[in-house]
């Protein structure tokens, strides 16, 4: 089953906490059920995205690594 992406966010080259801050801002503009795909190069974003989703109640659908990129798919609750 493929996930329909509502919006993408390119946070490559940004270091903590910028990927999370940009993710938070992008999520605020989405409707409930929409999916944001975030691409980051910051290894710290692995734990950060998990924590962000836990704290905000959003659902981390996928967390993958592709080369030096980390790709996250987050569904807004």
Instruction: Look up the CATH number of the domain holding residue 42.
Output: 3.30.110.40
* Structural domain includes residue 37: yes
Paired residues of 73 in beta bridges:
37, 62
In the prediction, which pLDDT does 3 show? 85
The active-site residue out of 16, 30, 61, 71 is 16
In the prediction, which pLDDT does 1 show? 62
> Do 51 and 58 meet the contact criterion of CB atoms below 8 Å apart?
no
Domain of 60 in residue numbering reads as: 7-75
> Do 49 and 23 meet the contact criterion of CB atoms below 8 Å apart?
yes
pLDDT band at 34 (very low <50, low <70, confident <90, very high): very high
Residues present in the chain in total = 77
Tokens of 20: 């999370």
Our count of domains for the chain comes to 1
User: Is position 16 annotated as part of the catalytic site?
Assistant: yes
* Structural domain includes residue 51: yes
DSSP string, 35-49: EEEEEE--TTHHHHH
* Structural domain includes residue 1: no
0.75 exceeded by pTM = yes
* Structural domain includes residue 2: no
* Structural domain includes residue 46: yes
């Amino acid at each position: 089953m493929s996930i329909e992406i509502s919006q993408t966010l390119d946070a490559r080259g940004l270091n903590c906490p910028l990927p999370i801050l940009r993710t938070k801002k992008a999520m605020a503009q989405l409707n409930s059920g929409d999916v944001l795909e975030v691409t980051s190069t910051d290894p710290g974003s692995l734990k950060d995205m998990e924590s962000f989703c836990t704290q905000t109640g959003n659902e981390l659908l996928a967390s993958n690594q592709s080369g030096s990129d980390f790709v996250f798919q987050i569904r807004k609750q």
